[in-house]
Each structure stands twice: as C-alpha cells, then as structure tokens.
Amino acid sequence: MTILPITLCAAAAAAAINTWLSIRIGMIRASKKISIGDGGDMNLIARMRAQANFIENTPIVLVLIAVIELARTGNPFLLGAAAIYMLGRVGHGMGMDGGPLGFLRGPGTLITMLTQLGLGVWAVSIALDM
C-alpha cells in the first residue's frame, strides 16, 4: 500500500481551512439571523465567496499534489508548495472580510494561481520525463 504523507497532510489542512471558512459563515448567519441564502448581506456574501473560491481551487491542487507525490515521493519542495498554498488560502479568506486585513486577498489569490500553475508545470515535466 502506498501512503502519501504530503497529500494526507495537505488534505487535512484543507479540511481544517474549509471548516474554519464554514464557521465564519455560520457566525454571520447566526448574528444576522439569515438561515438560507445571503439576505443581501455583503459580509455574508464575501465569506460565502471565500469558501466557494476555496472549494473551486483546492481539489485540483490536492490532485496535483497527490500525483506529483506518487511520482516524486518525499520531495520537500512539494511539502513547501502545499504549505504555501494553504497559507495563501487562509490569507485570501481573511482578506475577503476587507478592513485592515483586506490587503491579504490579493496575495492569497496570487499564491493560489502561482501554486496551481507551478504544480501543473511540475506535473507536465514529470510526465515528459517518463
């Protein structure tokens, strides 16, 4: 049986971040008494989009991490890429609230895009070597 420790850690981190993003949405829902939909509340919409954006991007990153790890077991750069991606997603989530941490949205987005692009190029380079 092949165990992919980097992928497992990345998936665990993704689960924790997704839970955190969900809790943040629930906090606004509870305080504003919005059970379904967004109620036109811009703070709720921003937090919902932060989680949706996470869900839109994270599966492909996890797949890329897994296939690269299968091909290049134990690569410390892969662990670093996974960690940087997760930190970028936290930054993006915090930045979507605006305010003093609003500046984190841009770097979080850039980190997401660069990580996906870098992992994609890495995966292609591995495929071409075979």
Give the model confidence (pLDDT) of 98-128 as tens digits: 999 999 999 999 999 999 999 999 999 999 9
CA distance 57 to 74: 24
Mean pLDDT score, 9-38:
97
| Count of CA atoms in the C-beta half-sphere (13 A) of 56 | 9
Residues 57-87 pLDDT 10s: 999 999 999 999 999 988 999 999 999 999 9
pLDDT of 130 above 80: no
Q: Distances from the Cα of 10 to the Cαs of 22, 38, 84, 87, 113, in angstroms?
A: 18, 30, 10, 11, 17
Cα pseudo-dihedral 86, 87, 90, 91, rounded to 10: -140
